[in-house]
Amino acid sequence: MTQGAGQEPVVRTATLRDFRVPPYAQTPVPPQTAGAVPHPSLPPRAPEPHAPTPYASVPPPAAAPPQLPHPGNVAVGDEPPEGYTPTERDLPVINRGDTVQVQAVPEPRPVTGEGLGPLFVVGDVHGYLDELVAALAEQGLIDADANWAAGNARLWFLGDFTDRGPDGIGVIDLVMRLSAEAAAAGGYCKALMGNHELLLIGAKRFSDTPVNSGAGTATFQAAWLLNGGQKSDMDRLQDVHLQWMSRLDAVVEEDGHLLMHSDTTAYLDYGSTIEDVNDTVHAILTRNDADECWDLFRKLTKRFAFRDEGGAEAVRELMTTYGGQRVVHGHSPIPYLLGEVGTEDGENGSGPVVNGPHVYADGLAIAMDGGVTMAGKLLVVQLPLHD
């Protein structure tokens, strides 16, 4: 269950490899160190200026579904599920006939000229820097030295840069640098806030301060550890990273695509326009109130609002309020939506099969979390999809 201040985190044994509680979870997190260590796959370079750019994951329990505005918003009433560690048991799967994975075929993209170029989106990265570099290079967005190479193209990250994988801070450093390089080339690289950004911010700011969860004592630090928080990320976390994460937007609309991290309607609680939602989220983080930040984190960990009966209706409500013709999100791994979770540690040579984005909810929703933390695929695709 969720651990309170002064309690030892419980190691969950039924989880997939990358979702286990790390061994250091039972030791205090050491204080922050002064500098960050560059990732070996990226060449060293001097710090570059960057502009603030525009936004983690809690499983639903196996208990009976709660009474919520939309049946997909799985949670225990208005409170967070206990444990916070996704498992094959806790994340129910579906295998419906009206869902499809789309193999994205990139269209020719301009790298020079006036105006803005094609639009790309990136699913949950979770610290897998090498996989991210490879996926961006495959799409021609960066060169062999991991520098921006896409001219006036537009690139949106859907959040969840850290936790579970080996180098979350390296991922953030890369995205920050690419933001400056893309802007200089006439394009842009921007990012949305995921629930793991909220979790890392909370763990750093509030540590083991008890928060009002309504389901017993909870702390950000315990939740962060149980969600795959990495000691190396906390050691290297600097003020510049915290400031960058705190300024990320939660929702944007691009070319008729409503981009957000979580597949939930909880965004409606924070405003009736995209601007209102983003302003409200920024204001909450600025006020620095632990309980208020916890409530925001809790709501943005809800998932599965767009699947099953009522899913398309939930998507339409979001688009009626905020605009767009399709919702594009991360957060809920495609392997769980498809029922292709695979075996722990890839035993028997099997694993999740992810060929591309997952289109569902009457074709109105696109899932982009390819399940890289469970040997799936880190997705970088061009929009619109042609299915």
pLDDT value, residue 175: 98
Is 67 domain-assigned?
A: yes
Is 88 domain-assigned?
A: yes
Is 153 domain-assigned?
A: yes
pLDDT value, residue 188: 97
pLDDT value, residue 62: 42
User: pTM for the full model?
Assistant: 0.75
Q: Which of 230, 237, 235, 260 is nearest to 323 (CA)?
A: 260
Calpha distance 61→372 (Å, rounded): 22
**Which segments in the chain show pLDDT lower than 70?**
1-114, 215, 340-352, 387
Residue position matching structure tokens 């799936």: 376
pLDDT value, residue 115: 81
Is 35 domain-assigned?
A: no
pLDDT value, residue 333: 95
- Structural domain including 197 reads 54-383
pLDDT value, residue 375: 85
Is 188 domain-assigned?
A: yes
Domain CATH number, residue 338: 3.60.21.10
Is 37 domain-assigned?
A: no
Strand extents, DSSP E, 106-254: 119-122, 154-157, 188-191, 211-212, 217-218, 251-254
How many distinct structural domains can be found in the chain? 1
Is 2 domain-assigned?
A: no
**Residue 253: count of CB within 10 angstroms of its CB:** 15
How confident is the model over 186-211, as pLDDT tens digits? 999 999 999 999 999 999 999 999 99
